[in-house]
Amino acid sequence: MTASADGYDSTAALAAFHESHGGVRGLVESGVTTVPPLFLASTQLAARAQSLAATAFAVPTVDLSLPRPDAVALIRAAARSCGFFHATNHGVPADVIGSALSAARAFHEQPRAIRSELYSLAPVGAVAYSTIPSSPEQGGPLLPWRDSLRVRFGPAEPDLGRLPAACRDALLGYQRSLTAFGKEMAGLLSEALGVEAERLERAMQVEGWLMACHYYPPCPEPERVIGSLEHTDPSLFTVLAQDDAGGLQVRNGDDGDGGWVEVAPVSGALLVNIGDVLKMVSNDEFKSVEHRVVIKSTQDARVSIALFFNPAKRDKSDLFGPLPELMTAERPARYRSFTVPEFMNFRREFGHSRSSVQRFKLTSN
């Protein structure tokens, strides 16, 4: 990040943007009519982001009120095919989800003078609010058209004192409700792998401690920016609540290398996607699929809340790899054992695409 041929100094511009503490929302509030260079996607990348596959595609829906064997079969099929599914009749009250989404929106739409006091790239206590820079390895613009509020709920008792009371209470209530849902989902995913329901929980102690409340402001030139670059999730699985604005896309195809298709929001549903950790633990039985967000509107913001479920066991002695029950002579282990800190270090070093998972793949496979 240096001065370009036309004299634009991206390093200085990036520093000035963060020092403004206004986020992308601040740019919109200031009345920008063109996209600043920090956010500009290459012409080729922007064109790819705005193009959709011509074929119709619907992410599978799993009705969790079905008899358990039927729900497990649907989850198995979805996890093996596209790595995403909508969960309906999930037991999380609609008002809890709605309150959390409203609280996330209200936080990001606070007056700039109040919001800016919380802006920080590094967490303060359990909270971090900022525009998170893109990883250089991903090859996109320096900044996405997105502001993020990240909240960590564990393992220690979280210090949420920096959040406004209404926002704090709504997000805490949502996280508690989702924790129960996540434990149930871990059991269903275990059974979908053909092992006992308690297998993933016993091996890993599955917890949803990290929440990301994303806010994608309207953009004067939506076709020139990226809301979120293509990536996979560094989790066992992720649970997403979203409004009805749309813009989430997943990579389609048998090997996750096909075209991009849009995931239309389903009212009342929670969207579940398989993460890289579960992909490896499942020995490639389940797919962790690349996804991204495009900006669609010049008038309306998009709001989503992702809760990442991961192993709570993170000591150096806590090794994870393909479950022994899933390995056979015909299908040996495809990944070596790893610790969660080791995996996260690789993600930070090599970015958020499928390439980081390949670092753990056994060469004989």
pLDDT in tens, 229-250: 999 999 999 999 999 999 999 9
- Indicate whether 50 pLDDT > 90: no
Mean pLDDT of 37-43: 87
Residues 6+ apart with CB under 8 A from 223: 46, 50
Paired residues of 233 in beta bridges: none
The dihedral over CA atoms of 365, 340, 152, 242, expressed in degrees to the nearest 10, equals 10
Distance CA 259, CA 261 (A): 7
Write the DSSP symbol of residue 282: T
Pairing state between β 248-251 and 84-88: unpaired
Most confidently predicted of 156-160, 171-175, 317-321: 171-175
Please say whether the beta carbons of 152 and 210 come within 8 A.
yes
Please say whether the beta carbons of 245 and 302 come within 8 A.
yes
- The H or E element containing residue 309 is strand 302-311
The dihedral over CA atoms of 29, 263, 214, 309, expressed in degrees to the nearest 10, equals 180
Q: What is the pLDDT of residue 54?
A: 38
Measured between alpha carbons, how far is residue 245 from residues 162, 217, 218, 269 in Å?
28, 11, 11, 14
- Indicate whether 48 pLDDT > 80: no
Measured between alpha carbons, how far is residue 18 from residues 14, 104, 123, 358 in Å?
6, 21, 15, 33
- The region that residue 89 occupies, defined by phi over 0 for left and psi between -120 and 50 for alpha, beta otherwise, is left
Query: 116-120 long-range contacts, Cβ below 8 Å, gap at least 24?
Result: 116/20, 116/21, 116/22, 116/26, 117/21, 118/162, 119/18, 119/21, 119/22, 119/23
Measured between alpha carbons, how far is residue 170 from residues 175, 193, 269, 303 in Å?
9, 34, 18, 15
Distance CA 133, CA 83 (A): 26
Measured between alpha carbons, how far is residue 113 from residues 110, 118, 360 in Å?
8, 10, 46
pLDDT-derived band at 66, boundaries 50, 70, 90? very high
The DSSP string of 169-209 is: HHHHHHHHHHHHHHHHHHHHHHHHTTS-TTHHHHHH-EEEE
pLDDT-derived band at 223, boundaries 50, 70, 90? very high
- Indicate whether 256 pLDDT > 60: no
- Indicate whether 1 pLDDT > 60: no
Comparing 30-39, 57-66, 256-265, 266-275, the range with the smallest average pLDDT is 256-265
Measured between alpha carbons, how far is residue 138 from residues 101, 353, 354 in Å?
29, 8, 11
Token pair in block for residue 134? 């893109």
Q: What is the pLDDT of residue 44?
A: 52
Please provide the average confidence, as pLDDT, over all residues in the chain: 91
- Axis-axis angle for helices 68-81, 165-192 (nearest 10): 90
Residues 6+ apart with CB under 8 A from 26: 20, 112, 116
Q: What is the pLDDT of residue 45?
A: 56
Token pair in block for residue 140? 């996109």
pLDDT-derived band at 53, boundaries 50, 70, 90? very low
| 268-283 core/surface letters (b: 16 or more CB in 10 A; e: else) | ebbbbbbbbbbbbbbb
- Residue that the structure tokens 């393992």 belong to: 155
* Predicted confidence (pLDDT) per residue in 119-151, tens digit: 999 999 999 999 999 876 666 799 999 999 999
- Indicate whether 166 pLDDT > 80: yes
- Indicate whether 31 pLDDT > 50: yes
Among the listed residues 168, 118, 187, 189, the one whose alpha carbon sits nearest the alpha carbon of residue 148: 118
* Predicted confidence (pLDDT) per residue in 261-304, tens digit: 999 999 999 999 999 999 999 999 999 999 999 999 999 999 99
Asked whether the bond before 155 is cis by omega within 30 degrees of 0, the reply is yes
